[in-house]
Amino acid sequence: MRLAYDLNTDSLYIHLCERTAVDSDEVTNGVVLDFDAEGSLVGIDVQHASQKADLSCLMINHSPFGQLKAA
């Protein structure tokens, strides 16, 4: 899973996996879910992210991650 924030567009994209999205659904104003060819969720696009979330802090609780990487 990867988080990607674009300062110029104030967009946060949460990549849940590396599969290609072929369909999307805006579930609420500025929040788009992306799906692969099998209908599985592959990503979440949050537009105007700084207005919807506190981007100054990322907290991870009870994570199954074996490794964390910073880009």
Tell me how crowded residue 20 is: count the other CB atoms within 10 A of its CB: 10
Residue 65 has pLDDT above 80, yes or no: no
Residue 62 has pLDDT above 90, yes or no: no
Tell me how crowded residue 35 is: count the other CB atoms within 10 A of its CB: 16
pLDDT value, residue 35: 98
Q: What is the pLDDT of residues 8-60, one digit of tens each?
A: 999 999 999 999 999 999 999 999 999 999 999 999 999 999 999 898 888 77
- pTM equals 0.84
Tell me how crowded residue 19 is: count the other CB atoms within 10 A of its CB: 16
42 by Cβ neighbours in 10 Å (0-12 / 13-18 / 19+) ranks as buried
Q: Which amino acid is at 1?
A: M
Tell me how crowded residue 69 is: count the other CB atoms within 10 A of its CB: 6
Structure tokens at 9: 């567009």
